[in-house]
Structure 1
Amino acid sequence: MTRRSYFPRIFTCFAFLALAAPLLPGHVHADDWTYLDDRSTPQKLVESFYFAISNKYYAQAYGYFQSGSAPDDFDHWMKGYADTTSVTVKFGSTAPDPGAGQIYWALPVALSAMQTDGTAKVFTGCYKIHMANPGMQVDPPYQPMGIVSATLKETGVAYDKATPGGC
């Protein structure tokens, strides 16, 4: 019986792995990425929406719309944010408007959308937020708080002077 040497095969495998290693995806540490998804208040919902927009997590941002309230054409909606690099938002006061198992909020906002060319666009307006009363949701899937609509208007006022729009 002839004894085979496995050295050439093992050497070939290690050489291949050594050459291929730089082509493999890098290891991602938990500290290397950020994520925000908070629907506990209308303000946190809108902050999460703009966090997703700022990080180009468009599917996540689109998911903050209530069922039936999202823009019809996802690609067209997404392209509307193509030149946006980050969004900062501030809020006016809001209070829940409950009725018949539904809770609505009218949330005044002012926001600054930084553009790829270094300029900022400032908008004021109102988000309409909805949530079915959690105590009345007995069948899955659970329907979390979501955006029903937004009415935003570009303003010529600087963000630090902008006041959240009226609702």
Structure 2
Amino acid sequence: MRIGSIVLPVLAILSALSTGGRAQESIPYVDDRSDGAALVRSLYNAINRKEYARAYGYFGDAKPVGEFKAFADGYAKTEAVEVRIGEVTTEGAAGSIYAAVPVAIKSVEQEGRIRFFSGCYVARIINPSLQVPPFTPYQIETARLDEAEGPIEKAIPGVCNAP
């Protein structure tokens, strides 16, 4: 058995794990689905922590972001994201509560590239008093982001509309 041929791959794996671990350790875990804005903040918390399965899980059954692999691969070059939330509007319709969440995103990619995005998330919860177990908290129903000009403060759209 050649120890040298085993040590390098093991060190590479440990290095990759410790990098992800540092991102998770330095950013507090947030999972709050109590309203639309909190849900979107939790989404970007998961992305910053590189917890893509958790981020993907915030989307409803329709999965407006496509399959998980494509979703996770979309963040392959992302080092960090910052989210700013505008004025959230809420309305009820057909036993559901919808929250339209306007956002501006600052994305810092590998090699220092900075990009800005602007758009809207629409989160939905079935009226909690009408639910039976298992309880389903707010989920993201639609997501629409377009590349925008910075700075982030100027990229927040006005009001978004719920369906």
Q: TM-score, normalised by structure 2?
A: 0.77
Give the C-alpha shift of residue 40 in structure 1: 1.1
Give the C-alpha shift of residue 161 in structure 1: 3.0
Corresponding residue number in structure 2 for 1:10: none
The 1:72/1:162 distance shift into structure 2, 3 A limit, reads closer
Question: How many matched pairs?
Answer: 138
Give the C-alpha shift of residue 137 in structure 1: 0.2
Corresponding residue number in structure 1 for 2:134: 141
Give the C-alpha shift of residue 162 in structure 1: 2.3
- CA distance in 1 between counterparts of 2:36 and 2:76 reads 25
Percent pairwise identity: 42
| CA-based RMSD | 2.1
Letter in 1 for 2:56: Y
Give the C-alpha shift of residue 164 in structure 1: 2.9
Give the C-alpha shift of residue 151 in structure 1: 0.7
Give the C-alpha shift of residue 166 in structure 1: 4.4
Corresponding residue number in structure 2 for 1:84: 78
- CA distance in 2 between counterparts of 1:131 and 1:122 reads 28
Tell me, what secondary structure is at the counterpart of 1:117? Answer: helix
Give the C-alpha shift of residue 160 in structure 1: 3.6
Do the aligned partners of 1:111 and 1:122 also contact (CA within 8 Å) in 2? Answer: yes
The alignment status of 1:121 with 2:121, answered yes or no, reads no
> Following superposition of structure 1 onto structure 2, how do residues 10-159 of structure 1 map, counting pairs within 5 Å?
32=25, 34-138=28-132, 140-159=133-152
Structure 1 gap segments, 5+ residues each: 1-22
Larger Rg: 1
Corresponding residue number in structure 1 for 2:155: 162
Give the C-alpha shift of residue 92 in structure 1: 1.4
Do the aligned partners of 1:125 and 1:166 also contact (CA within 8 Å) in 2? Answer: no
Corresponding residue number in structure 2 for 1:14: none
The 1:118/1:67 distance shift into structure 2, 3 A limit, reads same
- CA distance in 2 between counterparts of 1:101 and 1:65 reads 19
Letter in 2 for 1:96: T
The 1:166/1:99 distance shift into structure 2, 3 A limit, reads closer
Tell me, what secondary structure is at the counterpart of 2:41? Answer: helix
Deviations 1:50-78 (A, max 9, x none): 01011110000001001233534211111
- Higher mean alpha-carbon deviation, 99-108 vs 45-54, is at 99-108
Q: Which runs of 4+ in 1 moved over 3 A?
A: none
